[in-house]
Amino acid sequence: MNTEKSDRTRIRSLKIKRFMQFTILAAVAGYLCSVSVIARAATFTLPENDDTIIGRVRIITDIAEKNTLLDIMRHFDLGYAEITAANPGVSSWVIDKHQKIVAPTEFILPPKPWEGIVINVPQRRLYYFPETANGRAPEVLTFPLSIFRAGWPTPLGLTRIIAKKKDPAWNVPKSIQEEHRNNGEANFPDYFPPGPDNPMGMLAMETGFPEIFIHGTNRPWGVGMRTSHGCFHLYPEDAAQLFPVLPVGTPVRIINEPYVAGRRDGRVYLAAFEPLTDYPITGSQLTYAVASVTRLLSDNQGAEKRQEVDWDRVLSVAQALSPVPVAVNPGGLTLQEIISEITTEVYPFPPYGRDANLGVVPERP
């Protein structure tokens, strides 16, 4: 009986803690809405010249005990596909403290126009280009996303944010209910009430595409994976940052660009992400890589600049499927050379803990 009473007390304490976190998140979101603040953690100033790359790659070591690759990816606001592609062969769950981990926090911006929200589905990343206030430099916010699972592709093209919902409930569509029940989940609910256990998370932004939302999630360790039925999942803390500053009516452009070409300091770079076969393919994927670089050069540099690209390097980078941008000019550094030149940083942060895999913003020292 004492053990049963202890279990009830522990469960009650956890529910109270979740409720308090839920209440705090709503208060924070409301405060941010009232003062129109854009948090700085995922915010970059847009380049003033023709450059199209933001951020920088970081290498960490001397990692605090009990951290996993998932803890590190969340700390750096990365998704699972990004962190694992940048660290091939590294266990997601067991990391030696002296191991060197690549945090691919350097991003090639999507093709212009840079306005509103642009989501590159294969990159599993959202870019938000807010309207620029007087006297401030243009900025971009970027967040990792979970994307659709196989067979549930998100529509591509232009839409808008048509509504924002705090504490959403989820009436599960019949098609999703049927899928779960066909997979042996006979008691899968047809309705989820608001709260931290809701798969919609606690903040949701509705697009003009039917039943397609950008929202938080009650399973944030899945960010960067293919987990949805067409929606885009954000970390709860990223949803809390984006929600209050995103106006209803904001344009949304959803694109399919597995190979993204960019420019920095006069050099051409390429990053490559796993192509999604759910979208029609009208040629080899390597042709898409060449087309991405060619389009970048044609934008404002002229066709003569194409001679400055090593096309064998383009194909090599495309085949490597690395999120780290690599120069494709003759004599440019290889991925291994880029990593070897980066100064390592100590990672003293404790792991998030199991309770962080909820729909609330986690406590973080």
Hunting for tokens 């986690």 — which residue is that? 362
Q: Identify the active-site residue in 33, 98, 215, 233.
A: 215
β-sheet bridge partners, residue 215: 204, 233
**Residue 299 burial (10 A CB sphere; 0-12, 13-18, 19+):** middle
For residue 162, give the H/E element and its range: strand 157-166
CA distance 165 to 161: 11
Residue type present at position 173: P
Q: Identify the active-site residue in 33, 75, 229, 231.
A: 231
Q: Decide if 33 is catalytic.
A: no
CA distance 121 to 260: 12
Other CB atoms within a 10 A radius of the CB of residue 178 amount to 12
CA distance 167 to 204: 8
CA distance 281 to 276: 9
CA distance 230 to 213: 8
CA distance 313 to 331: 10
- Phi/psi for 22 (5° steps) reads -60, -45
Residue type present at position 45: T
Tokens of 76: 């750096």
CA distance 365 to 361: 13
β-sheet bridge partners, residue 192: 170
CA distance 142 to 225: 17
Residues designated as active site: 215, 231
